[in-house]
Every structure is written in structure tokens, then in C-alpha cells.
Chains A and B, each alone.
Chain A
């Protein structure tokens, strides 16, 4: 049996962040003010319509849609870390499972809102449900995103039940209403053998089920593009191309979160250097796979240079989008792979920097996927002003694009203030197993 003092230490360590601190208030204040500014920009868009953006007849999908793809992509990480690594018995990843799940839930939940920001008349979203056709990938997308948000929420909640009981019992200075909520959500958890069994069964079932759902969510997102015949989108590997890219941005997001949680919540004993080392290797692996898909996606049509593909690819390789295209590939993919191969680079601070580059690169990669294609339609663009042909986002559009990021940070911040971000129950159980 584990000593009581050790259990006490783990519990108090992991419960410590759950309290209102000055820095938390300041951070929330900053996020709140920024959100108000962005919502002000959105109010202007709501009043005047999408004319306040750089979108037009030709480039009708801009930053909002690339933002949507990025959010869906990043949300896939919950499936990779909690489900795939968990099921394959990679024990090292279990302390990161909840962090990954929080990130997944936050990004997936906000992704739906990002789509709404691309609508001049958001109330017309109802038309999807009233007049939607199941032939349209847009309806599939709405369906799978909704399912994924629900499943992610349950995937976060079910393993959390024992911890909620601990929160209700052990947290002092808790207002009575909050204690009641913890109690109600912990579903009479007593730690009995039967309850343990059910939770194990449910967690395992959901870990299996979430894999096809997560694959579906991003594959369907890729089909929004690949089911058209536009250059740059008309690709048979778009599904796996998107999914592998999703793992890259998700892993980078988890690394960034790990760094700040470890530092701010003083969790050096729980999120160790070994975790950074291992997830660094994971990032190398998923980046290599993504690089391989990039090679296929660009080299094969680039070798053939079919008439319309050539216009598009030349703009990417040497033309107007070349700087962005090569920056994304080099600084967001190739250099991070090379750097992370070295032991010295798989330390918290260098990895924070590298992961930030990867994440920013991942965002611009979606920009590169969405916008240049829109600028290269099959029919020539004639007799229109320059701003119809070339997309340039406006300030309002940029602010509205930033808003979802603030929302995600708000969700993550609030969630990590009300639940322990590393499972107390699991940590104790694993220590017990080790001791036995």
C-alpha cells in the first residue's frame, strides 16, 4: 500500500492550482478586454455584412475558413494522445491525457463558432437544419463536429468523475454552491470495485469510439475542399493529408500548454523532462508523416504541371504566395524536425519556441491551402478591380479571426481552474500499481 503522506502530497499538489489567484484574475481580465474588442469588430460585421472583410466573389473563403480548418485540426489531438497512445499502452502519456482533452474540447467547441463568423447572416445557420441536404459535405461537417464536441466532453468528463469527488471532499474555502456542483457531477463516487470497473469500461469504449469520429471530423473537413474540382483541392489524399497535419498542430498546442502548466502550476514533478523528451519525439514522428504527405500533395502535381495546376503551383512555388509557402514548410515543418532530433532541443524552453513556430506555421499552412486556390478559378477573372482578384484581409476580419483564439484560451483557463489538469485518481493508482 502507498503511504498516506504520498497520496496527500499528490492530492494537494494537483489541487493547488484550483483557486483564484491575482495572476489568474489579471489574465482573465486581459482575455476579457481583448474579447470585447474583437466582439466589437464582429458587431460591425453583423451590422454591415461581410463587405467589411476582404472576401468577395472570387475569394469567398478567406481567413475565417482557414481558421476553421485550423481549429478542427488542433482539436484532433485529444484522440491521438488520450485514445491512440492510451490504447496502445504508452503509459508515459497518461498525465498529458487531460491536457490534450481540454485542448481538444476547447478547439472543437469553438470551431463551430468560427464557421458562423464566416456567415454574413448567422441566423441562416438554421437553414442547414431546416433545408439541409445530406448530399452536401457541409451537412456532414456540421454533424460530425457536433458529435465530436459531445464525445470530447464525455471523454473529458467520465475519467474526471473520481477527481470531482476528491475536489468536493478536499478543496477548502469552497463556496457551498460550488461544492454541490462537484458533488452532483461526481455521481456518488465511492471508489467501489464496481464503479471502477464501469468507469474503466466506459473510458475504454469511448477511447475506441473517438478514433473514427475524430478521423471523420477532419476527413469531412477536407472533403469540403476535395469534393470540388478546384485546383489545389481536387486531391484524393486530402483526407489523410489533413489528418496528419492535424496531429502536428495538436501536438504543438499540447507542448505549449504543458510548458505553461508546468511553470505556472509548479508541476515539475508531474510533467517531467522525460515527458517533454517523449512528446518531442512524437512531434518529430507526426511532422515526418505530414512532410511525407506534403511531398505527395505538391510534388506529384508539380511534376506534371497540368495547365490549371501550373498556375496555382507556380503562385505557391515562385509567385505571389512563395514567401509564405516556403516559410511555412521550412520554419513550420522541416526545421522543427531537424532541431527536435537533437537531445538538447527536447527541453521545455527550446520546445516552447519550436512548438510555437510549428503552431503558427500550421495556421498559415491552412491559409495557403484555402486562399490561393480561390484566387485561381478555372474561368479567367476579367474586368474587375484588383481587390477582387487578390485577397487581403481587413482589420475587422483579423480581429474576428483572433476572437476564437481568445475564446479557446478562456475555456482552457477556466477549465484548468475548476478541475485538476492531471488526473489525481490515475496518478495515485499508477503509483500503487508500481509499488505493488
Chain B
């Protein structure tokens, strides 16, 4: 049995290993045509490039290195390209934006990490290394997103978060139909997505299934973030607090006296031990100095 298994296992291993190594080279970025043609509504100038540099340093530099210095992290597979390279600069703004949004393999998705504005600013920074680049500005009006209103309500019986997205146009209130909509709960170390990414229906409504056991603050409040992506209105973010979590009141780790706390909250036994040690020494030192004083005094007589 065992013997027969070996060739089979060997072939399987070879295929697995080979596919792992070959995968990055076999596939390119498959960017849909409409995404490829997308342009930024932010003007790529010195100011936005400077702001983009800050975002880049925080989120991208650790792998891609300093742009133009070709010092990306070579131990990764595939090696992250230096973004000033011809290959990277040949990509359209839309392609760069898509890559940034979706990520692939070891490149993480920044869709839910950075705001759309910040993502475009990073691209503005990347473009600042290309002198022959000429920007085509998007006709999208970023101020249109201000017209959008997001309404949140919670159906506690079915534990469903209902989100309605509308825009107050001059002609009246219209619903945002078929817009991409994502719901997050704000956590300590980032945003936790609730349910799946949905699309609004004809009334601009999306229903998210909510888990009942999500810990909230002392009174059960959970901060929810709704993110809407609409072709016409752009990206819209809205935050609101709903009392839908499990009330959680864990004492802070720095509340009580502890080894790891600040000096004023040191454990009593430590304060006593340390202080008495120093005091005993102080008293002893005084005793010695007094002894020396006695010697000197006795010599005077």
C-alpha cells in the first residue's frame, strides 16, 4: 500500500510546489475594462502627491520600498515591484486603483482600509515619479456624495440591520439603486465586516444579517460604518452608533495596581520592599556618618 502511494504523493507534491511557484508568473492582473478606464477626481499635483507619500510610507513602503530606489522586499514571492518602474507606470490610473482596491496573493486589499481619496492620493504620489505622465481627470463631481443620506435601523426580532441610501436632488429625494454597500463594525484593531458586500435594491435598501453576540461597549453600543460605492455619487461613508451589541464591561488592564502599570499604580508589596530597602540604607549611612563625626570630635578633645 505504502509503496504504491509514494509515486502518487510525489507527483502531487511536485504539482503543488510547482503551482505555488509558477502562479505569480503565470497570472497578470485581470482588470475589467470599465475599471481600467476609471479616472481620479483628485488632481495629481504636488500637494496631493505629498499627502499620498504619507499614506504610502505608512501602508506600502514596508513591501514596495522607497519608490525609485529599487529596494522593495526581495524575500517576498512575487517580489513587489518598484512603482517607478516602466511596467508599473504603463498601467492606467484605473488599473492602479483596481490593484490597490482588490489586492492579490500577498498584496492586501486596501478597499476597506483607505478612503477613496487617500487611495487616489497614493496614486498621485506614484505618478509624481513619472515626468511624462499626463493626467485625465474624471468627470465625477466629488461633492455629489454630500447629497447622499444613509439611514440605519435595527430589527431586533430578526437581527437584521436595515440600511437605506437616498440622495436629496433638486428634483426630490431619489433612492440609490444597485449601489455596492458594505457594513462594518468598528473594533479595536480595524473594521470588522458584517455579513457580505451587498447591493441596494430599487428602494435603496440593503438588509444585513447581524450576529447577536458581538460585544459592544458598557451599554451595548456598537459603532457601525456603512460604506457605499456608487457610480454616480462616488464613495460615501457614514458612521453611527446603535445599541445592538452585548454590553461588555471588562476592567482595563491598567486600572488596578500591577507590575506592568505606571509607577503610581505599582504593587504595594513592591513599594514597601523597595522603599524600606532604600530607607534602611539611608539610616545606616547616617549611622556611619555620625560615627565618623564622633571620631573627629573625640580627636579634638
Contact = CB atoms under 8 A, between A and B. Distances in A.
B285 interface: yes
A189 B291 contact: no
A127 interface: no
A143 B300 CA distance: 36
A188 interface: yes
B71 to A, nearest CB: 13
B274 A202 contact: no
Given A150-B285, A202-B291, A135 B267 contact: yes
Given A133-B266, A135-B259, A135-B267, A199 B295 contact: yes
Nearest to B299: A188
Interface residues of B, number: 27
A195 B299 contact: yes
A20 B69 CA distance: 63
Contacts of A32: none
Nearest to A131: B263
Contacts of B259: 135
Contacts of A132: 263
Given A150-B285, A198-B291, A209-B284, 11 more contacts: A134-B263, A134-B266, A134-B271, A135-B260, A158-B292, A187-B295, A188-B299, A188-B300, A195-B298, A198-B298, A205-B284
A206 B281 CA distance: 11
Interface in B242-291: 259-263, 266-267, 270-271, 274, 277-278, 281, 284-285, 287-288, 291
A383 B77 CA distance: 12
Contacts of A187: 292, 295-296, 299
Contact of B274 (A140, A158, A192): A140
Interface in A291-324: none
B285 A383 contact: no
A383 B288 contact: no
A199 B293 CA distance: 11
A134 B299 CA distance: 43
B299 to A, nearest CB: 3
A200 to B, nearest CB: 11
Contacts of A188: 295-296, 298-300
B295 A161 contact: yes
B256 to A, nearest CB: 13
B131 interface: no
Contacts of B5: none
Interface in B196-239: none
A206 B288 contact: yes
A147 interface: yes
A190 interface: yes
8 contacts: A134-B270, A143-B278, A147-B278, A154-B288, A188-B298, A198-B295, A199-B295, A205-B287
Nearest to B300: A188
Contacts of A150: 285
Interface string A179-206: 0000000011110101100110110011
Chain B interface, >50% SS class? helix
Nearest to A143: B278
B266 A189 contact: no
8 closest pairs, A vs B, by CB? A188-B299, A383-B75, A187-B296, A202-B291, A134-B274, A133-B263, A194-B298, A135-B259
**Which bucket holds chain A's interface residue count?**
20 to 34
B35 interface: no
B262 to A, nearest CB: 7
A206 B295 CA distance: 16
B163 to A, nearest CB: 42
B288 A205 contact: yes
Contacts of A189: 295, 299
Contacts of B285: 150
B241 interface: no
Nearest to A206: B288
B187 interface: no
Interface string A143-182: 1000100100010001001000000000000000000000
Contacts of A201: 291
Contacts of A154: 288
Nearest to A157: B292
Contacts of A158: 288, 291-292
A150 B263 CA distance: 26
A383 B296 CA distance: 68
Contacts of A213: 281
Given A205-B287, A205-B288, A209-B284, A190 B299 contact: yes
Contacts of A140: 274
A216 B284 CA distance: 16
A187 B290 CA distance: 13
B294 interface: yes
A146 to B, nearest CB: 9
B222 to A, nearest CB: 33
Contacts of B294: 198
A240 to B, nearest CB: 19
Contacts of A133: 262-263, 266
A131 B288 CA distance: 31
Contacts of B262: 133
A109 B259 CA distance: 30
Given A132-B263, A134-B274, A154-B288, A192 B299 contact: yes
Nearest to B281: A147
Contacts of A202: 288, 291-292
